[in-house]
Amino acid sequence: MDGGRVLIRTNKRGRKTAKGYHTYVADWREPKLFIIYELDAEGRKMRKGLERCDGTIGGPEDITRLLVAELRAMGAQDAKSITFLGDGAK
């Protein structure tokens, strides 16, 4: 699980420019992302195992809800162990 940075473009209301475009404001947002994959007995990523990648612009509650839903859909409750990795950020 990790985050990044992305510009979210929001059009301003009002008149268009001379070229026919609306002006806009671009705010930086931090998307929350995760990748789920299977490991083999030696702890290496399986080549043809299940893999899921997803994310959201929402907060930590949104990404946690999404992660739990994906793990349930994959049948993670039957896994011998689950390992979470991150970069150590809050």
Residue 85 lies in a domain: no
What is the per-residue DSSP string for 5-23?
A: -EEEEEEPSS---TTSPPP
Judged on CB neighbours under 10 Å (0-12, 13-18, 19+), 16 is exposed
pLDDT at 90 (0 to 100)? 65
Question: What average pLDDT score do residues 4-24 get?
Answer: 86
Residue 88 lies in a domain: no
DSSP string, 50-84: -EEEEEESS-HHHHHHHHHHHHHHHTGGG-S----
Q: Looking at residues 12-41, what average pLDDT do you find? A: 87
Domain that holds residue 53: 2-78
Distance of CA 75 to CAs 45, 51, 78, 80, Å? 18, 12, 6, 11
Q: What is the pLDDT of residue 58?
A: 87
83 located within any domain? no
Q: How many domains does the chain have?
A: 1
Q: Against a cut of 0.85, is the pTM above it? A: no
In a domain, 55, yes or no: yes
